[in-house]
Amino acid sequence: MRVLVTGATGFLGGHLVRRLHADGHSVLALGRDPERLAALRPHADQIIRHDLTGPDTVRDMEADAVVHAAALSSPWGRWTDFERANVHGTRRIIELARTSGARRLVLVSSPSVYFRFADQENLREDSPLPKPVNAYAATKRQAERLVEEATDLDPIILRPRGLYGRGDTALLPRLLQAAAKGPLPLMRDGAAATDLTHVDDVASAILAALQAPADLPQRIFNISGGVALPVRDVAEAAASRCGITPRWRRLPVGPVLAAARLAETACSLLPGRPEPRVTAYGVGLFAYRQTLDLSAARQWLDWAPQIDFQTGLDLTFTAGTA
């Protein structure tokens, strides 16, 4: 299969390029970072330096399938930046997939579209979606709609939860930085839990989506490690690999959430809109249980997670820090 991967210079994209190449596929790696693209040359048949949010278009390209992993992913930022990257960028990729002759488009979306300030266990793909918690969730939902409507591309949408692994620059590094700076919030007696996913499992899920039959009865699939992990256990297990002993401070959810929202309002009015130290979304992750149901992926993609959290930490830290 000849596969175009967008966001190839990102955490997931880079892993996916290497995995596709190792499995014998022909890979076209599209990204913006020239140094990271150069590092992918041994694993890609074609390197394409391109900004999907820019005015230029990519032409004269042939691909059997497209994996759209490029996105602006952050709990904070300007709406226009998220819209340009996640909505306009997805429109551009749909056009590119059509002109390249692709027979399948796989979108890497996000379970943040489910998020609400409440416990949510075993969420299914058909669960009613709440009002988006932030611009990232809102624009990823818009991107999903665009891809769902592109029925001629036989689309599949994946919602992987909490990616981590060697090369991660977001989830575990942010958590470790917070643990090193001061006490972490312990709310609702540590009830918060989530299901994380090792990047290799996400790459396997994408491969399963690329190879899935055309007559699937649904198009959106949850992807995760399949185990509800207490957030406190995640922080302590990851921190122990770096010689950090997290400290915890018991706090009530209501006042902390109100303070985070006040900080967001204040930062939105400041020049440059600096990211607040704590966002409302971040408070929610430390306060509530949020887990996914994987039944559909098991049944229709024949996919299941293979890497448990402790094994994933071994893979993450054996060659250095996260």
Indicate whether 320 pLDDT > 50. Answer: no
The b-or-e profile of 86-107 (16+ CB within 10 A means b, else e) is bbbbbebbbebbeebebebbbb
Mean pLDDT of 250-266: 96
Q: What is the pLDDT of residue 319?
A: 56
Model confidence at 53, pLDDT cuts 50, 70, 90, reads confident
Give backbone dihedrals phi and psi of 42, rounded to 5 degrees, phi first. -70, -15
Give the integer Cα–Cα distance in Å for 226 and 96.
34
Asked if the model's pLDDT at residue 209 lies above 70, the reply is yes
Q: Are 62 and 100 in contact (CB under 8 A)?
A: yes
pLDDT in tens, 141-183: 999 999 999 999 999 999 999 999 999 988 899 899 999 999 9
User: In which residue are the tokens 């609702």 written?
Assistant: 188
Q: Where are the domains of the chain?
A: 2-163+198-224+291-306
**What are 166's two structure tokens?**
């060697």
> Has residue 253 got a pLDDT over 50?
yes
Q: What is the pLDDT of residue 322?
A: 46
Q: What is the pLDDT of residues 109-129, one digit of tens each?
A: 999 999 999 999 999 999 999
Please provide the CATH number assigned to the domain covering 2-163+198-224+291-306.
3.40.50.720
- Predicted local distance difference test score (pLDDT) of residue 61: 86
Q: How far apart are CA 72 and CA 78, in angstroms?
A: 11
- CA–CA gap between residue 35 and residue 38 (Å, rounded): 5
User: What confidence tens digit (pLDDT) does each residue in 1-48 have?
Assistant: 999 999 999 999 999 999 999 999 999 999 999 999 999 999 999 999
C-alpha separations of 268 from 85, 255, 261, 264, 271 in Å: 20, 20, 11, 6, 8
pLDDT one-digit tens code per residue, 80-114: 999 999 999 999 999 999 999 999 999 999 999 99
Q: Tell me, what's the pLDDT at 265? A: 95
pLDDT of 133 higher than 90: yes
